[in-house]
Amino acid sequence: MANTVLYPGDTIGVIGSSANAAMLVTTARKMGLRVGAYGADETSEALQLADFKAVGSNKDRDKLQHFAESCSAVVYDSEQVSTSVVNFLGSYTQVPQGSDMLEMMQDRLLERAFFEQLNVNIAPYATIINLDDVYQSVNSIGYPCVLKPIQKEWSHGRELVIRTQTDIAKAAGLLDWGTYILESQIAYEREYSILVARDQAGDQQAFPITEVQSVDDRPQMTWVPAQVDDAVAGEMRRIAGEVAKHVNYVGVFEVSFYLTASGALYVKKIVPAPSETGYIFADATTVNEFDEHLRAIAGLPLAEPKLLTPAVSATFTTAQLSAIRTQWQLKSDWHFTFYHLRKQPDDAAMGHITVQGHTTKLLLDQLDDTGIWSPATDTE
């Protein structure tokens, strides 16, 4: 891809309707760019905030083409966007993030082949075509393990945790959907994340490592600085750097890890887009992930993210809004961010709070005392 520089007044397009999309729109406008947003819901926050909006589906080629031709470049908001849409947009304008990394991370077999190419540690897995494959593979994978469709977009309601041999029979109906993987459930002690920005020349800047507490595989709390051994931190940075060297991608991406009690480090996943765990950097570092992402996209020099203060960020759901409103009246040092998402289920993330202080332990204790979130992992 030829280097592209966007200047104030140039037009950038944002495709998607998540909280990330709205933050990309806001950041791009702050940079002086004219912003268009494309999505199926004209009431979404991203489309409402943009200078112009295009309402259409992923299959409306005429609208997608017109949108692309109206923009000097287009960015996508999350790993959920269709690779076919990205490739189509790329026929009419620059899409610096590209589709290679996105396509690889949406397919669990391609993802694991990439990890194996980099020679990094991942959870043991096997490819599953039929029920016999499960019975044969579980002996080497071990219990507990998880049966997952290779296409991540199909995962909702089509995954199965297998704890004993009697659970295997439940997989019979799921396998009608196509190819699966059977993956060992890692008994991990801590979870970490590192965000890396990669510019058009392949140069990199890494954000500070964050520690993460997840619920149902979604980040609930994130804090920085992370409590992590120097050798483990060095290995995480090395792996993230190797990922950046081997992908055709421009912008910010996330690599997340599991660490076991014995000190074994496993790569959990890569997110080829700005990440929820990166929201903390709006209050904790000299540059946030959306500024850095758009600097890379616009062909600007990357900033070096430097830690300003220990901080903890915690996501709140629809069901927790009442408790959050109480804290709204009480906490003078909490930074509240609301996503303005509409018609969301009770377990959907509706926003997050971030709090700064002297140590992450004191901050985690403060959040624990509210009773809103489950107890956070102990840290120093």
Is 39 domain-assigned? yes
Give yes or no: residues 178 and 220 share one domain. no
Average pLDDT over residues 55-69: 96
Strands (E), 113-250: 125-128, 145-149, 160-162, 180-184, 188-198, 204-206, 210-215, 218-224
**Where is the domain boundary, 132, 166, 184?**
184
Tens digit of pLDDT for each residue in 23-60? Answer: 999 999 999 999 999 999 999 999 999 999 999 999 99
In a 10 Å sphere around its CB, with 0-12 CB exposed, 13-18 middle and 19+ buried, how is residue 303 labelled? Answer: middle
- State the CATH number of the domain containing residue 51: 3.40.50.20
Same domain, 141 and 41: no
Inform me whether the pLDDT recorded for 1 exceeds 70: no
- If DSSP codes are grouped into helix, strand and coil, which group holds residue 74? strand
Q: How far apart (Å, rounded) are the C-alpha atoms in residues 126 and 140? A: 9
Decide if 155 is inside a domain: yes
Give the count of domains, the chain.
3
- Which percentage of the chain shows pLDDT scores above 90? 87
For residue 3, pLDDT over 80 is answered with no
In a domain, 263, yes or no: yes
Considering the chain, what is the average pLDDT of its residues? Answer: 93
pLDDT at 376 over 50: no
Burial environment of residue 336 by CB neighbours within 10 A (0 to 12, 13 to 18, 19 or more): middle
From 184, 205, 228, the end of a domain falls on: 184
Residue 212's pLDDT band, with cuts at 50, 70 and 90, is very high
pLDDT at position 177, please? Answer: 79
Q: Are residues 33 and 173 in the same domain?
A: no
pLDDT higher than 90, residue 127: yes
CATH of the domain at 199: 3.30.470.20
In a domain, 118, yes or no: no
Distance CA 311, CA 356 (A): 4
**pLDDT number for residue 377:** 41
Say whether both 218 and 339 belong to one domain: yes
The residue range of the domain holding 332 is 188-370
Q: Are 71 and 192 part of one and the same domain? A: no
Which among 161, 184, 207 is the end of a domain? 184
Query: Which residues have CB under 8 Å from 179's CB, separation 6+?
Result: 109, 127, 128, 129, 149, 150
Whether residue 289 sits in one domain with residue 277:
yes
pLDDT of 380 strictly over 70: no
Asked if 76 and 161 sit in the same domain, the reply is: no
- CATH of residue 131: 3.30.1490.20
Looking at the structure, tell me whether residues 204 and 343 fall in a common domain.
Answer: yes
Q: Give a yes or no: residue 66 inside a domain.
A: yes
Pair (161, 77) in one structural domain: no
The pLDDT value given to residue 253? 98
- Tell me the C-alpha distance between 114 and 1, whole Å: 22
Name the residue type at position 238. R
| Shared-domain flag, residues 171 and 194 | no
User: Residue 173's pLDDT is what?
Assistant: 84
**pLDDT of res. 378:** 42
Does 196 share its domain with 343?
yes
**Least confidently predicted of 156-160, 284-288, 309-313:** 156-160
| 377 domain residue, yes or no | no
Answer yes or no: is 232 within a domain: yes
Contact present, 39 and 80 (Cβ < 8 Å): no
Of 103, 7, 45, nearest to 298 by C-alpha is 7
Which residue pairs from 362-367 have beta carbons closer than 8 angstroms and sit at least 24 positions apart in sequence?
363/223, 363/310, 363/311, 363/312, 364/221, 364/223, 364/312, 367/221, 367/312, 367/314
**171 and 82 in one domain?**
no
- CA dist., res. 30 & res. 49, Å (int): 12
- Examine residue 102 and state whether it is found in any structural domain, yes or no: no
Tell me the average pLDDT across 84-104: 96
pLDDT value of residue 178: 86
Q: Write down the pLDDT at residue 2.
A: 54
Nearest Cα residue to 82 out of 112, 57, 48: 57
Q: In this predicted model, what pLDDT tens digit does every residue of 229-269 receive, in sequence order?
A: 999 999 999 999 999 999 999 999 999 999 999 999 999 99
**What confidence score (pLDDT) does residue 346 get?**
81
pLDDT at position 172 is 87
